[in-house]
């Protein structure tokens, strides 16, 4: 008899090719599955809420795994973390759930944070967790542009060319931009996102913030539903999968 475990995870994506297993590069998924195998001797398969890309971080990612070994949540957490020693991944919590729970399919909202440091001096300890933008950014104009994206739209302008989603139609629940000195933080939430959607939005909003684009330029690019009309893709290191929400019973 197997038990389904809901794992809450934190990781620094800098040294990984992303979440998903790849044949010739280390991934978060492979590293975790190997740690679980060392603990229980089972060839575990993890299912995840958000398949983060190369270099993208996670604060409270959620995955689930079915295991035959009888154990407790605390033991599973501590044992897997023991075998993860030396890797920038941690299991924050392991909780048993019923087999109707699915880390990806049961999710009702995902939240991402994108961090920008708006200064000319190079970054030091934040180099792997933020995007340095040296030219001044007007966050008020960025927020006005961002507000256009709220609701249900065709997000093709911000969709990577190799995105595998069946449709470019997504509903953006929120997008908020805050400045604290030289630190600019963008928060955005939706049930799901297209591949590179957040990074493409951030890169395009920075064109507005720098004055290179007007609000009208942004509106026209969005309405074009064409990735070629959008702005650049913001670097991966500034993006963090912040949290995922589930129905109350999960």
Q: What is the CATH number of the domain that holds 48?
A: 3.30.70.580
The per-residue pLDDT for range 214-228, each reduced to its tens digit, is 999 999 999 999 999
Number of compact structural domains in the chain: 2
User: Locate tokens 């994108």: which residue?
Assistant: 114
Catalytic residue, from 12, 53, 66, 217: name it: 53
Name the domain boundary from 38, 62, 97: 97
The per-residue pLDDT for range 37-81, each reduced to its tens digit, is 999 999 999 999 999 999 999 999 999 999 999 999 999 999 999
The per-residue pLDDT for range 6-27, each reduced to its tens digit, is 999 999 999 999 999 999 999 9
Full domain range(s) for residue 63: 3-97
- Do 180 and 224 belong to one domain? yes
- Do 135 and 227 belong to one domain? yes
- pTM to 2 decimals? 0.96
**Which of 249, 114, 136, 244 has its CA nearest to residue 190?**
244
Spatial separation of the C-alpha atoms in residues 222 and 153, rounded to whole Å: 9
Q: How many CB atoms lie under 10 A from the CB of residue 99?
A: 10
- Do 147 and 228 belong to one domain? yes
53 is catalytic: yes
Cα distances from 84 to residues 10, 34, 37, 50, 218, in angstroms, run 12, 9, 11, 20, 44
Residue 250: band (very low, low, confident or very high) from pLDDT cuts 50, 70, 90? low
- Do 92 and 115 belong to one domain? no
Q: How many CA atoms lie within 13 A of 151 on its CB side?
A: 3
Confirm whether 103 is domain-assigned.
no
- How does the average pLDDT of the chain come out, rounded? 97
State how beta strands 57-67 and 3-11 pair. antiparallel
Confirm whether 206 is domain-assigned.
yes
pLDDT (0 to 100) of residue 46: 98
DSSP string, 118-175: --SSPPSTTTTT-EE--S---HHHHHHHHHTT-EEEE-GGG--TT---S-SEEEEEEE
Judge whether residue 244 has pLDDT over 60.
yes
Backbone angles phi, psi at 83, to 5 degrees: -80, -10
Q: How many CB atoms lie under 10 A from the CB of residue 130?
A: 22
Spatial separation of the C-alpha atoms in residues 80 and 182, rounded to whole Å: 38
């Amino acid at each position: 008899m197997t038990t389904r475990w809901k794992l809450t995870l934190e990781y620094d994506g800098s040294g990984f090719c992303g979440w998903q297993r790849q044949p010739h590069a280390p991934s978060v998924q492979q590293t975790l599955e190997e740690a679980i195998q060392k603990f229980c001797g089972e060839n575990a398969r993890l299912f995840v809420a958000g398949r983060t890309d190369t270099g993208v971080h996670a604060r409270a990612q959620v995955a689930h795994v079915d295991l035959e070994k009888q154990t407790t949540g605390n033991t599973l957490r501590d044992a897997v973390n023991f075998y993860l020693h030396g890797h920038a991944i941690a299991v924050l919590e392991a909780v048993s759930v019923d087999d109707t729970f699915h880390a990806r399919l049961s999710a009702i909202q995902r939240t991402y944070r994108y961090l920008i440091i708006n200064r000319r001096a190079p970054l030091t300890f934040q180099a792997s967790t933020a995007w340095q933008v040296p030219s001044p950014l007007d966050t008020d104009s960025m927020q006005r542009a961002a507000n256009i994206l709220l609701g249900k739209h065709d997000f093709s302008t911000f969709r990577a060319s190799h995105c595998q989603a069946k449709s470019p139609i997504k509903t953006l629940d929120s997008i908020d931009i805050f400045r604290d000195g030289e630190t600019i933080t963008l928060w955005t939430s939706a049930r799901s996102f297209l591949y590179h959607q957040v990074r493409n939005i951030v890169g395009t909003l920075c064109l507005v913030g720098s004055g290179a684009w007007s609000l009208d330029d942004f509106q026209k690019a969005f309405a074009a539903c064409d990735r070629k009309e959008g702005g650049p893709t913001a670097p991966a290191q500034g993006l963090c999968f912040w949290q995922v929400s589930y129905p109350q019973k999960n």
